[in-house]
Structure formats: structure tokens, C-alpha cells
Structure 1
Amino acid sequence: MEHDPVREVDPEVADALESEIARQQDTLAMIASENHVSEAVMDAQGSALTNKYAEGYPGKRYYGGCEHADTVEQLAIDRAKELWGAEHVNVQPHSGSQANMAVYIAALEPGDKILSLRLTHGGHLSHGHSANFVGDHFEVEHYESDPETGYLDYEALYEHAQEFDPDMIISGYSAYPREVEWDRIQRAAAAADALHLADIAHITGLVAADEHETPVGTADFVTGSTHKTIRAGRGGMVMCGEEWAEAIDKAVIPGMQGGPLMHNIAGKAVGFKEALTPEFEEYASRVVVNAEALAERLQDRGLELVSGGTDTHLVLIDLRPSHPDTTGKDVEEALQNAGIVLNANTVPGETRSPFNPSGIRAGTPALTTRGFTASDCRTVADLIADVVDAPEDEDVLAAVAETVGELTDKHPIYE
């Protein structure tokens, strides 16, 4: 019998972990910010580095015994520089939100002005929502996408920046299905004498594989998550030019964090190495192709997509035109019962509560990791549309669940 130290010590946690593996295997992960890392990344994240305090940076630690931690962190830094072409990279933030916090600490003073995309139009909580620390510490106004087209309104953004005179403009989004024109946002920032933070949390992998234009070298700061489309260890990172390197590093420690999560940084290093291979470039390309196939079939089934499609890894479905009495939460819960896990999401011009919005968001990174093809994604689109049409029909849900089972058996996550 295989040695299982967790089960020997804590059977309840062991049961939950085994059940989570089974849940991931038996369902379709379509939350756009989720992915399945390799066994190598999981092994690195579960390594003995969890025992090591390594406050500081490679070669400049507060504690002794950090020689191997230094090796791992420097590998993560060097690989990130190669992937994204950045002059300076800090891989210690525990999340993408904390990466953003580091930029605010380094570059802004309390009360400074931030211009960012409104949450209901695809922005992120950490970009200035009133419920977040950013809304408490800074003066925030929001730009929007065009409610008719679903695309960013760059001209309106430029004019808003002229009127508001922000200290920082934030680009990069969590529910925007189109490629971002970083240079147009940079022109607005330059005209307003503002700094530009590009948050590529969702598209780190697409940018690394040249599927999308990079904001590195255009924006003053680029932040990202390391566990979404890049498929590395869970956490965040900050990229910037050398002129901001010292300020960013000081903002992370001692400004924001203590000891880094070295086991997570090991996962980042391993995932970054995987992302430097031709196989990863092929993967990133398939993510986009699969999202396009998903989008096209959803439209064929009569569902309205924000912006009319996608350039990225995600689609955003506005239920109001086709199913005005159905909410995103209704669909999310029905799909989960049938084995498809995605999330309810606000849409531009949202009239409902963010907790029960009018849209759903679906992504293809995790499906693509499992080996799903464009044909598979068209099948998944049919399953989603079937449930949207009849979220309370038990026969429909059972039929969808049966097909989900066939797909998950066809494409196992871990052999």
C-alpha cells in the first residue's frame, strides 16, 4: 500500500484532498482564472522549502541557510525575465492583488488619483473598488467599455484622463474578452503625466507565448498572477524597469510582506521553465483557438457574447437579450449540478446585483490543459446552451452530466 502521511496523521483532511482530486477530474473547470498545474509544479509547491524563512532577496537575506532558496528564487526571476522580457522582476508577492499593492506602495501616496476600468465592465477588485483597500486609500474614478460594442472606449478613456488628471491609469482586466491596445492607454497616461500599471493576471501565459501583445516596455509596471494561463505555482509577480526596481523590492519587503512563500516560488520556477518550451507555445495557441470555437458555437445557439466574441481565453455571455428572466447565478448553479464549473459575472450596463448578475464567464485554459480540442469545446458550448435554455429541467441536467462524464474520461488530468 502506498505510504500516505496525510492520511496517517489527519484522515479528515486526506479525505477532502482525495475528494478534491476527484472533483477536478470529474468536472470541467471553466472558471477563466483556473488551470491545472503539472505534477512537477505540485511537487515543487509541496517541497521542504515550506520550512524555510527567506526574508530579503537572493544574496541579501535576513537569515542564514538560504543558499538553496536563493537558487530557486533566482531561477524564477531569470526565467520570468526571459519569458516576458522585463528588466526587473519580483516573484515574491503572494497573489496578483498583492503584486498590485506593491506597485501602489512603491509609486503612489495615500489620496493620489487612480483611473481604472469599472468592475462591472471587466475590471478587478484590486484596481479601485470601494470595498477594496485601494478604494479606501486612493481617489478612484472609472472608465468603461462601450455599452454597444463591448470594446474599450479608448477615446473616452483619454478624455476622462484629461479631466480627472490621475496619478496612475490601470489597464489589464479580469472579464474583458478582447486584446488590449496597451499603447493607446499609454498615450492617455503620458498626456495626463500619469503612471501606467498593466495587470496581465489573466493573460500572463498568452503574453509569454506571443499570442498577445505585451505591455512590458510600454507600461511603467506590469503585474500578474502566476497560476492562470501561465500555469505555474500560485502567486503573483511585478515587472518593471530598473528605475523602479529598488522601490518595488522595498514595497514588497519590508513594505508589505515578511517571509516569502519559498515553496510557491519553487512552483513558479518550475512552471516558468515549462512555459519556455515550444509545447507551451502550442498550448497557449490552442487556448485561444478553443475559446474562439466555444464562442462561435455559443453564438450559433443564440447566446449574446459581450463584444461579439473573443480574442483571449474567455467568453462573457450576456443573458439579458436571449434569457431576460434567467440570472447568471441560476445558470452557474445549474451547470455546477451538471459538472461544469464556471462563474456568474457582471456585464457592461449591469442592472442586477454583483451577487446575482446578468452574465456568465467561461474560460478554456484548464480544458486545454486536459487536451480538449476545438471540437470538444463546441460540444461543451452545446452543453452550456442546453442548460441555459432549461436550468431546472432534471432530464437536461442528467444528459449534460452524462456527456461531461464522457469528456472527463476521455481527457484525464493526472494519469
Structure 2
Amino acid sequence: MSVAHSLETGVLRRQDPELAEILTGELERQSTTLQLIAAENFTSPAVLAALGSPLANKYAEGYPGARHHGGCELADMAERVAVERAKALFGAEHANVQPHSGSSAVLAAYAALLRPGDTVLALGLAHGGHLTHGSPANFSGRWFDFVGYGLDAETGLVDHDQVRALAHRHRPKAIVCGSTAYPRHLDHAFFREVADEVGAHLIADAAHPIGLVAGGAAPNPVPYADIVCATTHKVLRGPRGGMILCGGELAERVDRAVFPFTQGGAQMHTVAAKAVAFGEAATPAFSVYAHQVVANARVLAAGLAAEGLAVSTGGTDTHLITADPAPLGVDERTARGRLAAAGLVLDCCALPGGEARGLRLGTAAVTTQGMGEREMAWIAGLLGAVLREEAGGRAARDRVRELTGRFLPYPG
């Protein structure tokens, strides 16, 4: 039974038609527009099935074998499967699959390693650092003393000399490597070396690349970092949630930082869905998918450059692209709105240098739909035409509908 059919004819349609209409409308939106947001993807029907399973009813505070509620025997089995699959997938000694989000995972990592007031070195927010990397609006910026390193304004790459100099000057308790908008692979060995030089813990925030790591299309931070934080959606194609990977020596500290310090009961239906996603990510088909994601991103980046956008770092190693539409005479907000009207959905982000802002695109979702390099070249051409106002309105929207109609996220 298709996703649309289950919504149209199922119990939700009968019991709550208002919400059913909203959900079917969202399915229609996802199916008729191009999802180019780098942090989004389409889960498999199997992951969706786990999310809607009876485990949604189960309260399971604690960990397998040590719950605060009865009746957790099968919940324990589901979590153990998720943990073992995550450990095998990423080569980690320990995995905690309970974090509700990537931010929750980072919060727990800080709680395991730091105390309020400790100094942390992380990518500056104006250069693509995450909210949890020191934003004053976030717990991280309020509880810890963050020092931000930056990107080279010319190359758009992490300024390694600055990282080392700041680390030796400020002697942070932890160094964070990770970004919301960095299109190249991070040098985890370098960050490990600097962390060791100053006696700091190394935390890898791998929320974006972890799915590529699972598919063998990106380097694995696990051998280098003390703690790896990640999301289970994005390229990994699982449910919205987080996880933590670490060595055995930090396992107890990490587990206690998740529960009971930062969270209560685990969302067991989400944990089960994570287990499904980890199982899918261990297959040869997922490896093919991950490498196609990168191939598509490189073609899309080259196409955007050919259309006149300034592509950061000259391209990408990952699923993610950042580009400045200014050479086409349009700012990032106007560009995002114009593209959204044409059915191309994407984000804005900080650009190298820390002052300008541009567009952030990703190829995970469209690759899940089965699109390849030919479609990426087509998308780049349409995006350029829309920004130059050579295409727009109903004509551009119809062209997007024609493409998405051939690559449905949930066929049938």
C-alpha cells in the first residue's frame, strides 16, 4: 500500500480529516517540488513503518536490562539491535542511539566531557558553525566559553594554521570539528594532532557526512575523535534523531550524559527506525547510493558554476554545495524565494569569509528519488535560468513537476 493511499483511506482520514489533509498535502509538496535542502532526505517505507509501530506506546527510561518501567523486553531487543548495527556500521566500540536530535547528541557530548565555563574551540558561526558550536542563543554559548576558528577567505577551506594557533593560545578543554555548510572532507587526523598537542578532547560533529561515511564515500571520524555526534536523517536516510559513537572508556560517561542527565525516556519507535536505517546502510546498495550522492553533487556544483554562481571551494567532496548568487545580481534571500516559487527548495547559509551569505544545496533527497548526473545538469540549468529571470512562474514550476513526476519519492 502506498504512503498516499494509506493516508487517503486509513483511519486518520476517517477520524481526523483535517490532519489527514495536511499530511497528504505535505506528501504532495514533497512529491512535486525538488528537495535540495542538504539536511533532508526521504526515509524508506520500512523506516516509516517502524516510526508508526506499537513501540511508540512504550515508555523505556534507562537502557536495555536496566529500565525504570516494566514490559521493556522487546524494546530492549530493538535498542540492542540498533546499537550493534551502529557499532558495526561505523567501527565504534560503543554507540548510544537514544538522542532525540543531533543537538541533543552534542549536548550530551559536552555534558560527558565538560563543565560549565570550560573553553571550547569550534568553527565560528559566521563561517558555518552550528548553533551548538557556541551560539549565544543556544545552551552551548551560555554555558561554555567558545572560541571560533574560521575558513580561509580565498579558498573557503579550514584555516589549519589558525586552528593550531588558537588552540595553543586558549588551551581549550575540547575541540569541535564539524560544520553545517562545509563541502569538503575535514582532516580528522589534523584535528586529533592539535587536540593532543594541547590536551583537549576531540568531538566530531558529523551530522552531515555520517551517511556518506556509512556508504564508504567519506572518511570515518571514529578512529580519531573521542566522541562522534551525528544525526540519523540527512544522507543516512533514517528517522529524525541523533546518535553518539565513542570508545569503550567513555561509554558510561556518554550514557549517563544522555540519560538521566539530558533526556528522559527514549523514543523507542524512533530507536527501532534507526535500527532499520542502520541495516539498510550496511547493504551494497546503500554504498552505491552514497557514491552517487557525491557524483551528483559534483555535477550540480559544476553546473551552478557554469551558470555564473560563485561556488565555494570550487566544488564539493560531499552531498553539500554552497554558492553565492551575487554574480547573477541577486541576494540569497531573493534567490531562495524566487527558486521556491519555481519548486526548487533550498537553504541560505554563511559563506567563507564570515560576512557574505549564499545558498546551500544538497543532493541526498533527489538521489534517493533515483536522479543522476543528467538530472543534476538539468537542475543547475533551470536554477540559473530562474535566478536570471529567464524562466519563472508557471512555466518553471511545470518543468519541475514534469521532472519530479518521473522520480517519485514513494512510487506506487
Shorter-chain TM-score range: over 0.9
Contact 1:334–1:397 (8 Å) recurs in 2 = no
Write out aligned runs for 1:6-405 (5 A).
Answer: 6-320=12-326, 322-323=327-328, 325-351=329-355, 358-390=357-389, 396-405=392-401
Summarize deviations over 1:119-164 as a string: whole Å, max 9, x none: 2212111111111110000001100010110011112111111011
Greater Cα offset, 23-32 or 3-12: 3-12
Whole-angstrom distance in 2 between the partners of 1:97 and 1:380: 32
Specify the SS of the correspondent of 2:40: coil
TM (norm. structure 2) is 0.96
The letter for the 1-side match of 2:402 is E
| Map of 1:355 onto structure 2 | none
The letter for the 2-side match of 1:327 is D
Whole-angstrom distance in 2 between the partners of 1:52 and 1:230: 25
CA shift at 1:400, angstroms?
2.1
Whole-angstrom distance in 2 between the partners of 1:245 and 1:292: 38
CA RMSD between the two structures? 1.3
CA shift at 1:350, angstroms?
4.2
Summarize deviations over 1:292-339 as a string: whole Å, max 9, x none: 00011111112111111100001100233x13x522111111111111
Summarize deviations over 1:359-383 as a string: whole Å, max 9, x none: 0000000000000010101100111
Whole-angstrom distance in 1 between the partners of 2:393 and 2:293: 26
Contact 1:331–1:344 (8 Å) recurs in 2 = no
Contact 2:156–2:353 (8 Å) recurs in 1 = no
> How many residues align structurally?
405
Unaligned runs of 5+ in 2: none
Whole-angstrom distance in 1 between the partners of 2:355 and 2:274: 39
Contact 1:44–1:267 (8 Å) recurs in 2 = yes
The letter for the 1-side match of 2:87 is K
TM (norm. structure 1) is 0.95
Whole-angstrom distance in 2 between the partners of 1:34 and 1:243: 33
Whole-angstrom distance in 1 between the partners of 2:305 and 2:345: 20
Moved over 3 A (4+): none
Specify the SS of the correspondent of 2:189: helix
Contact 2:206–2:229 (8 Å) recurs in 1 = yes
Whole-angstrom distance in 1 between the partners of 2:180 and 2:246: 21
Specify the SS of the correspondent of 1:197: strand
Whole-angstrom distance in 2 between the partners of 1:210 and 1:56: 33
The letter for the 2-side match of 1:329 is R
CA shift at 1:384, angstroms?
1.1
Unaligned runs of 5+ in 1: 353-357
Contact 1:100–1:223 (8 Å) recurs in 2 = yes
